[in-house]
Structure 1
Amino acid sequence: MNMPLNTSADTTDPIAQARYNMVEQQIRPWNVSDARVLELLAQMPREQFVPPSHQALAFTDMEIPLHRDADLAQQLGQIMLAPRVEARMLQDLQIRPTDRILEIGAGSGFMAALLARSGAQVVTLEIDADLAEFARENLRSAGIDNVQVRQADGALDPIPDGPFDVIMLSGSVNEVPQRLLDLLADGGRLGAITGQLPMMYATFVRRSGNQFETTRPWDVVTARLRHFPEPSAFKF
């Protein structure tokens, strides 16, 4: 049953108005129609997950750097996804209230917060120690207690908590590694952004027994997650 939708703005509160505009002008027009997702984005305090140096960007239609140096943030994959991408990924993963979820790339913790409000339990991995602590603090401040933030390299370190009903990669990779697909439960779904510049795709994989069905319904470009394999350079 869908939750009642309540995305109306408090016009006396500029933060509430900015969040409302984000939902109505960025997210809803980008083929996001799930009432639960729209309400979640309308209620979650995104501004509390943004670094102080970038507070003015909290509701803009762009990726937000999680480092003072925006270029370095891109190189390191330290970004918050654009709001419309977060919402569309959340919608297309079709998360159920009972789902156990793995996220690769915690960042500021905002996507983990959305996943936690949609499912039962979230494990999120963050390679950078400072960002991992930032995510923990943000999640605590938001009153979200069903997320475990772990400092770990999602490309290389063991992940002993599987199987998972949902796996989300909050950044791009060349292709989805089999080691992550193997962590999916039967019926589980994985969402990632795959490919190389200038073209990347939102990629969703559903497991059915030992079979994996892949769809790539829309295109988007975002920063790389570190240490995932890249294609070998072609040489004559």
Structure 2
Amino acid sequence: MIRRALMLAVFCAHDVGAAAGDLDRAAERAEMVARQIQDRGVQNEQVLSALRKVPRHEFVPDSEKRYAYRDTPLPIGEGQTISQPYIVALMTELARPGPSDRVLEVGTGSGYQAAVLAEIVDHVYTIEIEPTLAEQAAEVLRRLGYDNVTVRAGDGYVGWEEHAPFDIIVVTAAPDHIPQPLLDQLKPGGRMVAPVGPVHSTQELRVFEKDATGKVISKTAAPVRFVPLRRRHD
């Protein structure tokens, strides 16, 4: 009986410690949103709520977890990075996601941007050119319960025609021009957010909107720096 009580006490202590760790990370997320995102002008409450909820530390390597809630990109392997939280928030707000939207993401990376979008929209289809990263992102998203995200390893330049058209397209790597297949797969009334510009230099974060006639207009939102959008033949 004493041994059973001791074992129970050990398990309870472990659970309390795990819960405390979760609460600490939730506090870090709240601080991140308040100081790094709201204070810099992002105000969409759905976006802010998603950023408070998604555990960014689950989407980075163990060696980077301590830095997960700093406002900085972090390496995730294969020469790729997870974008800084502010940029994820800004791109999500610019996309103006809604609960019935179907989204195409080009450049899954760690899966973090897909998870943020999945908190708001109906379904996210996301493409990653690096098979290892696609597999890792899919596993993390499954483990965290994001059953409204579908991950595929492939060439994001050509989009995902079988699931088109999309209400929103978010491109998380920088092409030097906007791929025509992505414009073609954007629904009339839809929006695409993408960094555009030369490799390894400052690019423009741009918002593209397609009207009911199919005409596309764009505006520049901010200067940014992203890894280049790669093709299968790279």
TM-score by length of 2: 0.84
The answer for the alignment partner of 1:201 in structure 2 is 204
Equivalent residue for 1:142, pick from 144, 162, 179: 144
Shift in Å, 1:139: 0.6
| Letter aligned with residue 163 of structure 2 | D
Is 1:29 matched with 2:29? no
| Letter aligned with residue 124 of structure 2 | V
Match of 2:161, SS state, is coil
Match of 2:52, SS state, is helix
The answer for the alignment partner of 1:174 in structure 2 is 176
The answer for the alignment partner of 2:224 in structure 1 is 220
| Letter aligned with residue 205 of structure 1 | F
Matches within 5 A, 1:44-63: 44-63=54-73
Shift in Å, 1:12: 9.4
The answer for the alignment partner of 1:4 in structure 2 is none
Structure richer in helix, relative to its length: 2
The answer for the alignment partner of 2:215 in structure 1 is 211
Distance 2:127 2:181 in 1: 15
The answer for the alignment partner of 2:132 in structure 1 is 130
> Is the 8 Å Cα contact of residues 155 and 232 (structure 2) preserved in structure 1?
no
Shift in Å, 1:159: 3.3
Match of 1:118, SS state, is coil
| Letter aligned with residue 107 of structure 2 | G
| Letter aligned with residue 192 of structure 2 | L
Shift in Å, 1:53: 2.2
Distance 2:82 2:31 in 1: 18
Shift in Å, 1:13: 3.5
Is 1:65 matched with 2:75? yes
Distance 1:159 1:51 in 2: 32
Matches within 5 A, 1:69-88: 73=79, 78-88=80-90
The answer for the alignment partner of 1:41 in structure 2 is 51
| Letter aligned with residue 79 of structure 1 | T
Matches within 5 A, 1:153-192: 153-156=155-158, 159-192=161-194
| Larger Rg over CA atoms | 2
Distance 2:180 2:134 in 1: 25
Q: RMSD across aligned C-alpha pairs, in angstroms?
A: 2.1
The answer for the alignment partner of 1:100 in structure 2 is 102
Deviations 1:11-30 (A, max 9, x none): 99431222122111111122
Q: Provide closer, same or farther for how the CA distance between residues 158 and 36 of structure 1 changes in structure 2, counting only shifts above 3 A.
A: closer
**Range 82-91 or range 175-184, more displaced:** 175-184
> Is the 8 Å Cα contact of residues 184 and 190 (structure 1) preserved in structure 2?
yes
Match of 1:172, SS state, is coil
Q: Provide closer, same or farther for how the CA distance between residues 120 and 91 of structure 1 changes in structure 2, counting only shifts above 3 A.
A: same
Distance 1:32 1:166 in 2: 19
Shift in Å, 1:228: 9.0
Aligned residues: 212
| Letter aligned with residue 50 of structure 1 | V
